[in-house]
Amino acid sequence: DKEGEELARRILDAECSADAILGEEYGAKDGTSGYRWYLDPIDGTQSFVRGVPLFGCMAALEHDGEPVAGDICFPARGELVYAATGEGAWWANAIGAPSDALDLRPARVSTVANLGESLFASTGFHDFANIGKAKEMARLLAAVNLARGWSDCYGHYLVATGRVDVMIDPYMSVWDNAPLLSIVEEAGGRFTGLNGARTIHQPNALSTNGLLHDAVLALLG
């Protein structure tokens, strides 16, 4: 984690020295440009430690308080996804190939409109009891078609690429949320906290294809 963030900070200091930085490992660096970078060098550290290939390297860019770009690289899987405001979301599964040879394709959320047909993913189902949402989780599990445990940023990535319909993280930090808001929204979905607020400054996260968002919030309320 620390070595990855150190490398990212060296690059940003060289290329964007006036920009602020906030990272998981080394905290905040002030800037003067109105831009702020968010860094999470390894999201899913427990997956990384245990050899589960679903961890991601995350970065995001904010301008005057609004997220404008985000990217996630999944090095163990050779996949990446990125987005910028007004430019759409894109994903590829050929990391290591020349940039002009990447198999880039638009990232788009699913069109599932009924919770009873949906695929739901979450990080740590037991954590819902810890945040006082055990009964609400039971209602949601009863309403969806399938539930799986694709955790951390990988679950949100699956929403953005249309392979999962709903993803919930009970515990989040701002550097976790920052890339996801841009990616999920540019892919056509919605990203909020469990209270429905659209902000990266929240302790949890809900990604959906947009069509199911209000129904999920109603069950969690």
Residues 81 and 149 in one domain: no
pLDDT in tens, 173-210: 999 999 999 999 999 999 999 999 999 999 999 999 99
179 Cβ neighbours under 8 A, 6+ residues apart: 38, 40, 58, 59, 60, 67, 70, 71, 72, 153
Q: Region 70-93: what's the mean pLDDT?
A: 95
Looking up residue 99, the CATH number of its domain turns out to be: 3.30.540.10
Looking up residue 131, the CATH number of its domain turns out to be: 3.40.190.80
Residues 70 and 144 in one domain: no
CA separation for the pair 91, 105 (Å, rounded)? 6
Last residue within a domain, chosen from 62, 89, 106 = 106
Quick count: other Cβ atoms within 10 Å of Cβ 135?
11
Pairing of strands 35-43, 66-74: unpaired
Q: Which helix (H) or strand (E) holds 13?
A: helix 2-15
pLDDT in tens, 4-50: 899 999 999 999 999 999 999 999 999 999 999 999 999 988 899 99
Confidence (pTM): 0.93
Residues 95 and 72 in one domain: yes
Tokens matching residue 219: 């069950």
What does the pLDDT read at residue 125? Answer: 79
pLDDT in tens, 38-73: 999 999 888 999 999 999 999 999 999 999 999 999
What does the pLDDT read at residue 93? Answer: 82
The number of residues in the chain equals 221
Tokens matching residue 140: 């949601």
pLDDT in tens, 89-120: 999 986 555 556 678 899 999 999 999 999 99
Last residue within a domain, chosen from 106, 132, 158 = 106
What are the strands of the beta sheet with 66-74, ordered from one edge?
27-29, 20-23, 35-43, 56-63, 66-74, 79-84, 88-92, 105-106
Per the structure, the count of domains in the chain is: 2
Domain range spanning residue 28?
A: 2-106
What does the pLDDT read at residue 102? Answer: 73
